[in-house]
């Protein structure tokens, strides 16, 4: 006779505070998973439940505890979360656990609305004072409908904060629309943000197209890299923010809009205003709430928690079981400056996880990874080309190197090359670089 999942059976539970650290482990949990309670009190939840990346918002999810696949249910009680193990692999048929989770995911997929935010404050890792202050201010800002300007270096997680703010605002059940201003050529700005009517211009869709303002109706419009918006486009954006209405290209009727603007930049807008590169009136329109996201250099106490967070993520993706970082590598991680911030740290861990052997990341792994990426062998000596071809090759190599060092972040790559972001985009298109 086949067994079925009995959700009333209890394998114990753990309690976690608002910062994601363990405050209680039930006796039956410790007994069932051979865990020493005193050794884990105060530890991050990721030290006990592995494979949780992107799943903390689910009420029921898969996790690995002491090497055992488990089905875990999350409930909230005041400011704490309770993680209760409701099934363990080995005690029931594995396919029943998978079928159960598939049914839950399918139901959620059918209910999911398009353009919803993906991240919450629970998924922004960091217990440092700088990060706590940033999150506390963001939570207070979220209740307002006023414009927010997020500032901070590239890779610090500005879009995560934007989505988290939207996720607890009064607009949370409405769309979150993200726009990368640096990726929109000036001539396409209006059609992308304002939309257009059928036949408005050559090449337009015959059915027309709603713009980002319309798509974000009653929700949040996130304008990333706002500093890279062409000057003329800044004036058009300002008019929409002032008039609270938008008119499609080729249209004759203006539509009222109700949206919240969250903008982000890794540049000093005040300085750009002084240089005449950013409109002062738009700057003051955006500069209602200013929230600076700290760099990794300013919150080094979060480094190891973030590293383990990404290890869990890549364990799940690559089907690995890495658990540790050796002391030498830990010291290196803590002493490195991380100019690319969280994005660079994630790429660093991913490289290491691709070539790791065993359950521990070590300096040997990193040395091998760096040798693979920085010391290519068997280079061929090519004959001298024309000056035009030599310049072309030099530009391509410089752009590719900058993009590699910036882990794909084009804004950071442009800064490394000391050129404007728009120039970088033109050269990438010119040379058809990926």
Question: Domain tally for the chain?
Answer: 4
Report if residue 326 sits inside a domain: yes
The pLDDT value recorded for residue 367 is 59
Co-location of 364 and 226 in the same domain: no
Co-location of 266 and 363 in the same domain: no
Domain ranges, residue 419: 387-430
Co-location of 106 and 152 in the same domain: no
Cα separation, 345 vs 152, in Å, equals: 16
Torsion angles phi and psi, residue 327, rounded to 5: -60, -35
Report if residue 32 sits inside a domain: yes
Report if residue 245 sits inside a domain: yes
User: And the tokens for 313?
Assistant: 């993520």
Cα separation, 114 vs 133, in Å, equals: 31
Q: How far is CA 345 from the centre of its chain?
A: 13
Question: Whole-prediction pTM value?
Answer: 0.62
Cα separation, 309 vs 325, in Å, equals: 12
Domain closes at, from 85, 111, 137 = 111
Co-location of 70 and 132 in the same domain: no
Co-location of 91 and 17 in the same domain: yes
As a residue count, the chain comes to 434
Report if residue 300 sits inside a domain: no
Give the CATH number for residue 333: 1.10.8.60
Co-location of 331 and 217 in the same domain: no
Give the CATH number for residue 412: 1.10.10
User: And the tokens for 363?
Assistant: 């300096």
One digit per residue, pLDDT tens: the chain, 434 residues? 343 444 445 689 999 987 778 999 999 999 988 898 888 898 888 888 886 644 545 677 778 888 888 888 888 877 788 999 888 876 665 555 555 555 545 444 444 455 566 778 878 888 899 999 999 999 999 988 999 999 999 999 999 999 999 999 999 999 999 999 888 877 788 888 988 888 777 777 777 888 899 999 999 999 999 999 888 889 989 999 999 999 888 888 888 999 999 999 999 999 999 999 999 999 999 999 999 999 999 999 999 999 999 998 888 888 888 888 988 889 989 998 999 999 999 999 988 888 888 888 988 766 544 444 444 333 343 455 666 676 777 788 888 888 888 878 888 888 888 788 877 888 888 888 76
The pLDDT value recorded for residue 116 is 60
Co-location of 194 and 230 in the same domain: yes
Contacts with 119 (C-beta within 8 Å, 6 or more apart), sequence order: 160, 163, 164, 167
Rg (CA), the chain: 25
Report if residue 297 sits inside a domain: no
What does DSSP say about strands 22-25 and 13-16: parallel, antiparallel, or unpaired? antiparallel
Domain closes at, from 247, 268, 292 = 292
3-state secondary structure (DSSP) of residue 54: coil
Co-location of 130 and 249 in the same domain: yes
Co-location of 351 and 403 in the same domain: no
The pLDDT value recorded for residue 121 is 83
Cα separation, 90 vs 72, in Å, equals: 15
Co-location of 235 and 134 in the same domain: yes
Read off the pLDDT of residues 9-31 as tens digits, 9 standing for 90 and up.
Answer: 568 999 998 777 899 999 999 99
- Measure the CA angle with vertex 349, ends 322 and 314; round to 5°: 50
Report if residue 75 sits inside a domain: yes
The pLDDT value recorded for residue 52 is 65
Cα separation, 50 vs 354, in Å, equals: 18
Report if residue 1 sits inside a domain: no
Co-location of 145 and 263 in the same domain: yes
How far apart, in Å, do the first and last CA atoms of the chain sit?
A: 56
Give the CATH number for residue 36: 3.30.450.20
The pLDDT value recorded for residue 131 is 92
Co-location of 90 and 193 in the same domain: no
Domain closes at, from 51, 84, 111 = 111
Give the CATH number for residue 221: 3.40.50.300
The secondary element (H helix, E strand) that includes residue 108 is helix 94-111
Report if residue 262 sits inside a domain: yes
Contacts with 25 (C-beta within 8 Å, 6 or more apart), sequence order: 12, 14, 15, 35, 37, 40, 41, 48
Burial of 140 (0-12, 13-18, 19+ CB in 10 A): exposed
Is the CB of residue 32 less than 8 Å from the CB of residue 293? no
């Amino acid at each position: 006779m086949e067994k079925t999942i009995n959700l009333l059976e209890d394998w114990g539970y753990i309690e976690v505070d608002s910062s994601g650290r363990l405050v209680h482990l039930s006796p039956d949990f410790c007994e069932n998973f051979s865990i020493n309670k005193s050794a884990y009190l105060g530890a991050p939840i990721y030290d006990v439940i592995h494979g949780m990346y992107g799943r903390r918002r689910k009420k029921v999810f898969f996790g690995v505890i002491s090497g055992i696949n488990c089905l875990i249910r999350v409930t909230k009680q005041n400011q704490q979360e309770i993680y209760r193990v409701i099934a363990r692999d080995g005690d029931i048929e594995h396919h029943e656990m998978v079928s159960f989770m598939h049914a839950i995911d399918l139901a959620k997929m059918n209910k999911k609305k398009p353009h919803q935010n993906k991240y919450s404050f629970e998924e922004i890792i960091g217990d440092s004072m700088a990060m706590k202050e940033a999150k506390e201010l963001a939570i207070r800002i979220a209740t307002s409908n006023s414009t927010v300007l997020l500032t901070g270096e590239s890779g610090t997680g500005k879009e995560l904060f934007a989505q988290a703010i939207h996720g607890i605002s009064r607009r949370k059940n409405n769309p979150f629309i993200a726009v990368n201003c640096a990726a929109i050529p000036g001539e396409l700005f209006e059609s992308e943000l304002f939309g257009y009517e059928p036949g408005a211009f050559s090449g337009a869709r015959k059915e027309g197209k709603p713009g980002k303002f319309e798509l974000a109706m009653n929700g949040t419009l996130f304008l990333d890299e706002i500093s890279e918006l062409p000057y003329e486009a800044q004036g058009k954006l300002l008019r929409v923010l002032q008039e609270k209405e938008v008119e499609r290209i080729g249209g004759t009727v203006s539509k009222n809009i109700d949206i919240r603007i969250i903008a982000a930049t890794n540049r000093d807008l005040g300085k750009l205003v002084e240089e005449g590169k950013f409109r002062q009136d738009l700057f003051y329109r955006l500069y209602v709430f200013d929230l600076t996201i700290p760099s990794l250099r300013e919150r080094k106490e979060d480094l190891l928690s973030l590293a383990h967070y990404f290890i869990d993520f890549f364990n799940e993706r690559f089907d690995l079981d890495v658990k540790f970082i050796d002391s030498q590598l830990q010291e290196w991680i803590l002493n490195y400056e991380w100019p690319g911030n969280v994005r660079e740290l994630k790429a660093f861990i991913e490289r290491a996880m691709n070539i790791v052997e065993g359950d521990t990341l070590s300096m040997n792994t990193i040395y091998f990874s760096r040798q693979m990426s920085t010391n290519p062998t068997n280079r061929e000596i090519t004959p001298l080309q024309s000056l035009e071809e030599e310049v072309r090759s030099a530009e391509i190599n410089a752009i590719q190197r900058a993009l590699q060092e910036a882990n794909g972040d084009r804004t950071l790559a442009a800064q490394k090359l000391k050129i404007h972001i728009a120039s970088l985009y033109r050269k990438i298109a010119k040379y058809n670089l990926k």
